[in-house]
A and B are shown apart, each in its own frame.
Chain A
Amino acid sequence: MPESNRPLEAAGNLDRRTFFHRASDGIHGAALAYLLGGDLFGSSLLQGAESKHGSASQRRIYDLRPRQPHFEPKAKAVIQLFQNGGPSQTDLFDPKPMLDKHHGEPYFDKIAVDVSSPQSAGGLMRSPFKFKQHGDSGIWLSDAMPHLAGEVDKIAVIRSMFNSHPNHEPALFKIHSGRLLPGRPSMGAWVAYGLGTENQNLPAYVVFDDPLGLPVNSVQSWQSGFLPPVYQGTRLRTNGSPILNLKPDFEQPTEVTRLERDLLSRLDAVHRQKRPGQLQLDARISSYELAARMQLEATDALDLKQESQKTLEMYGVGDKTTDSYARRCLMARRLVERGVRFVQIFINGQIWDNHTNLKRSLLSACNRTDKPAAALLRDLKQRGLLDETLVIWGGEFGRLPIAQIRDPKNTAGAGRDHGPRGFSLWMSGGGIKPGVSHGETDEIGFAAQEKPVSIADWHATILHLLGMHHEQLFFRRNGLNQKLTSIYKPKIVKEVLL
């Protein structure tokens, strides 16, 4: 994609090359780069989130103990409702009367370079949904999301987001980890690295993937990249046991288990002591410690039987369409209540990737997610948790204003192709100013125009709400301070902050 006509990100060929070079070297690199920082040997060089405050006791081992942010945070935890596939902005959040007016008119030539599948490109296409302003704030929403409409005064919609690649894989890497390529830590990993977590019996960074299937980039979506592996997302299951093998699959007296564990930890300590500087072994030891503690707490945390019937119904638990997503949303609340730092909810495959049958397929995606997501906002609010919990909703990009017609015989089955230049997402709670619409796309909703927000801006804003400065949250590696926002100079989106 040419970089003109929209906000430029520094291209940095050289940096890409160095990045790529590093993308491949995984844990050893991470471990050793950490040592380069010298924590283990008492050097005064401090890293990342600690550098600002310079805590008295230096970090000797990477763990998940809570750490001081750089400044007073607004949000203590994040729930990311990730909508893989690219929800269509002009059918959900960003009404474009011009599309109604010019419906069917050819437009391909003007945006040809951004169309992934030119062979199926049709003319401009109006939204099959009706838009209305809602709540006291008057935020626009289409009738595809009736439940969110009821909570609209709790959210801020950003309508001027843009990504820099029209394909899912790179765009997903970008929104999850800041660059178009694999191998970098995901946002959740950065947050866990920067802040640790309040509850040592649960993972800091929890991922609920959809039992129906993994997202496009699979487990790479929550990887820790060059950060120590202790910060990578922990997948929890929502059906059956939350984590496979969480409980012994056999019967054994507790005291025997305790003696076994005791021996194991002593042997591992001996093993570790003889091998200084091997960070993999530290990560492994803490993974055993976490495993043992999780056995006690995870089951309880994810037990939805403890919820009232009213709450279950509010989320849509038990209703075939919403049940799966509702469970994940409700579990996310229960985890955040217990001090988990970052919860990420995925949905299977690409339900928002509405290349065909726009109305039907988009509605189906909304029907599965709208009610649970709205309920999560209401529930957090009722419990007084919304003020310190940042909820973010959105996908990797948006969709084009023109129709995509895969089968010329069936124009009614038209959908929309990927549109990275402009898309919408919303944020709520945790220091977000409610009832705000920020930024604009052009008159047909193709590209961000007014107050464009880059992915790096957005990342920086999220870190800011968590009390961290994006420049100060870094990991020193090969002489470079690696950051979530990479080489970019992002602007915090102040307009959406309280």
Chain B
Amino acid sequence: MIDRLLDSPRYGERWGRKWLDLAGYADSEGKRSADPIRPFAYKYRDYVIRAFNADKPYDRFLLEQIAGDELADYAGAKEITQPLLDNIIATGFLRMAPDGTGSDVVNRVPERVEVVSDELDIFGSVVLGLTLKCARCHSHKYDPIPQRDYFRLVAVFKGAFDEHDWLKPASVVGQSKSKTPGRVLPLAMDQERKEQDAFNKQLDEKIKADKAKLEALADKLRREHEEKQLAKLPEELRDDLRKMLATPAKNRDEVQAYLAGKFEKTLRLSKDQLGDITKYKAETRNSSLRVRTLEGQRQKEPQVRALWDRGEPSPTYVYRRGDHLQPGKLVGPGVPAALTDGKTSFDPKPPFPGAKSTGRRLALARWLVEPDHPLTSRVMVNRIWKGHFGEGIVRSTGNFGKLGARPTHPELLDWLAREFVARGWSIKAMHRLLMTSSTYRQQSTMTPQLETKDPENELLSRMPIRRLDAEEVRDSLLLVSGRLDERRFGRPDSVKVRGDGLVTSVGTDRGWRRSIYIQQRRKEILTVLETFDLPQMNPNCETRPNSTVAQQALYLMNNAMVHELAGRFAERIAKQASTPIDRIERLYMIALSRPPEAEELELNTKALADLTRQWTAELAEDKKSKASPEDKALASLCRAILNSAGFVYVD
């Protein structure tokens, strides 16, 4: 069963999401209220999902995300292959922080330094489990990170993050002179280009057809006009006049030319006249709207949102108190001294012959994934542990420093970290290891003994009970009701905001896609996801909060979409089972993956009977409704189950 789950494409969507939280994934730039869209960010999301599904070794996963641009010569490549493209897409990891510099007024050195600082924070806490932020303005008060080390890291990234040579993110409309985004590379595989050309060609055809339709209408109107005018003239002239009109001016003989001079103007429908015809006017408007909509879908040159070393970075100085106007000592690239043996020098070289790039990030990445690196493997296995057990062995997953929590089981952490490296940095291997452990197979039952001996479950004396997280709530509702559209990857589905602030996703007749494929703006988060604690990424999210509030109840009880899905769920059950008991059992199997217990069966049977009676009475007054009382009652029952603790909590 574990293998089946790990092989499912859903695995990457679920565990990839955890990584996206850490990276601070968003489809918009944030910071400014306009919150401009990042049109190609989704490629990074897809990359992460694919990497988890393929069990890309974690060392490789990091190499690509920290220094994918320096792994291979993408610019000089004859053909863009998927692995080559992935290298570049992966660097999107370093492009996820909120960034307002798309607006000219805040695209100055201090704001750029802020963005770099956010990126380094994400890098530090996610990969190294260290809070680097403090060391930006002064030497770290608790961890052995002098300010110099912070700026040595800044220097590592300088080839790509240079506050004096800045590539702009997506522009804020009206606040930016230049419109060309600076952070994209026009890289794509032939396949993608072909698909895109095909798509655009299809668009062209649709547009052409639309225009032809309008022209056909114009022709019809012209002919009608001509006939109307001809009718006013003597009958014997009409045939000759028709011939004249059908003949192009230069081919006309003398007589026709004469007739044209005399009658053509009155016979022809002028442009103005045509434009005044109500029907034509309306159709022109509709057609241009349709064409505009189609044009809006036109796919531009495929691009990758990326980070790359541009060579010849400006020198890095220690900024006194973090202030760029007070440059202090010049520093070169390097990694925190406390994490090294103190002997090996940090020695970046251009990554491949003829490379413009400095190779600094590649050197950093290679250092990170050395098998005996003190933090990289520990930080990651701790996160995997947390993913299974609710809490990490080190509870402060992003802070292994002095202010972080002590590990509850230090030897276990060390052993797991060694196993992780020994098993080729395979994340799936770690899942298997943890999920087959007797700790994982414990129940969540509380006993008075556990309450006194291990109240906070630091000793892992039980499995913690867990509420479904935001995506799981929404996706499960869609799944049980058969409305989950399992199309994967690609451009995110858009959201719309209702007047009262309700944010919903736009579905199709196939239903709705999984939450991970819905556009994630910083300012407009799907209401259902926000209600169930999907965080705003500012800049990223180490640990999601877990709230229990009345709004969650209100959503599940009163939201129109939940109501609709309950109806669909009922239809699905009605097709599979007919007697009340069979239906209740189906309902339990689908929604809770278990049959109802005796007590539950009794409660549901009674409720279904009561509801059927009630609906019979209600529908007797309503002649229009086609649904039977039984179907309506079943939908009500489904709604109750979708609201129940059994559906929303996992034991």
Which residue numbers of A lie inside 8 Å of B, CB to CB? 16-17, 20-21, 23-29, 32-33, 35-36, 41, 117-119, 203, 211, 213, 218-220, 223, 229-230, 232, 234-235, 237, 239-241, 243-250, 252-253, 255-256, 259-264, 266-268, 270-272, 275-278, 280-281, 283-285, 287-288, 290-292, 294-295, 478
Contact = CB atoms under 8 A, between A and B. Distances in A.
A267 B456 contact: no
Interface stretch (B178-186, B251-259, B264-272, B638-646): B638-646
Given A17-B402, A244-B502, A229 B551 contact: no
Nearest to A224: B547
Given A118-B321, A275-B446, A280-B467, A25 B456 contact: yes
Nearest to B604: A263
Contact of B325 (A119, A230, A280): A119
Given A246-B558, A249-B560, 14 more contacts: A20-B405, A26-B543, A119-B323, A213-B33, A260-B640, A263-B603, A264-B643, A267-B600, A267-B603, A270-B600, A270-B603, A271-B645, A278-B446, A280-B467
Contacts of B403: 16-17, 20
A487 to B, nearest CB: 16
Contact of A28 (B323, B457, B547, B553): B457
B262 to A, nearest CB: 66
12 contacts: A28-B391, A218-B538, A244-B551, A249-B563, A250-B560, A259-B610, A267-B604, A276-B446, A277-B447, A284-B552, A291-B551, A295-B554
Given A20-B405, A117-B323, A119-B323, A275 B651 contact: yes
Contacts of B646: 267, 271
B567 to A, nearest CB: 10
Given A21-B396, A24-B396, A256 B618 contact: yes
Contacts of B399: 20
Contacts of A260: 611, 636-637, 639-640
B549 A234 contact: yes
Interface of B: 33, 110, 321, 323-326, 390-391, 395-397, 399, 402-406, 444-448, 451-452, 455-457, 464-465, 467, 499-502, 527, 531, 536, 538, 543, 545-555, 557-560, 563-564, 597, 599-600, 603-604, 607, 610-611, 614-615, 618, 632, 636-637, 639-641, 643-646, 648-649, 651
A277 B550 contact: no
Contacts of B618: 253, 255-256
Contact of A256 (B531, B549, B611, B641): B611
A243 B551 contact: yes
A69 to B, nearest CB: 25
A492 B494 CA distance: 53
A280 B464 CA distance: 11
Contacts of A235: 551
Nearest to B319: A119
Contact of B553 (A24, A118, A291): A291
Interface residue SS majority, chain A: helix
B321 A229 contact: no
A327 B350 CA distance: 62
A277 B457 contact: no
Contacts of B640: 260-261, 263-264, 267
B97 to A, nearest CB: 16
Nearest to A242: B500
Contacts of A245: 502, 527, 551, 554-555, 557-559
* Residue among A21, A218, A261 with max Cβ neighbours from chain B (10 Å): A21
A260 B599 CA distance: 17
Contact of A244 (B405, B448, B555, B632): B555
Given A117-B323, A270-B599, A25 B549 contact: no
B615 A256 contact: yes
B603 A239 contact: no
Of A211, A213, A235, A267, chain B has the most CB atoms within 10 Å of the CB of A267
Given A118-B321, A291-B554, A35 B445 contact: no
A219 B525 CA distance: 14
A302 B403 CA distance: 44
Given A16-B403, A240-B500, A245-B555, A272 B645 contact: yes
B611 A259 contact: yes
Contacts of A275: 444-446, 465, 651
Contact of B644 (A16, A256, A267): A267
A219 B536 CA distance: 10
A407 B573 CA distance: 67
Nearest to B445: A275
Nearest to B392: A24
Nearest to A203: B550
Given A218-B536, A260-B639, A271-B645, A239 B554 contact: no
Nearest to B607: A263
B614 A263 contact: no
Contact of B547 (A20, A203, A229): A229
Contacts of A285: 645
Contacts of B555: 244-245
Contacts of A278: 444, 446, 465
B532 to A, nearest CB: 12
A471 B607 CA distance: 50
A243 B554 contact: yes
B610 A28 contact: no
A263 B584 CA distance: 13
B553 A287 contact: yes
Nearest to A247: B558
Contacts of B632: 256
A297 to B, nearest CB: 12
Contacts of B637: 260, 263
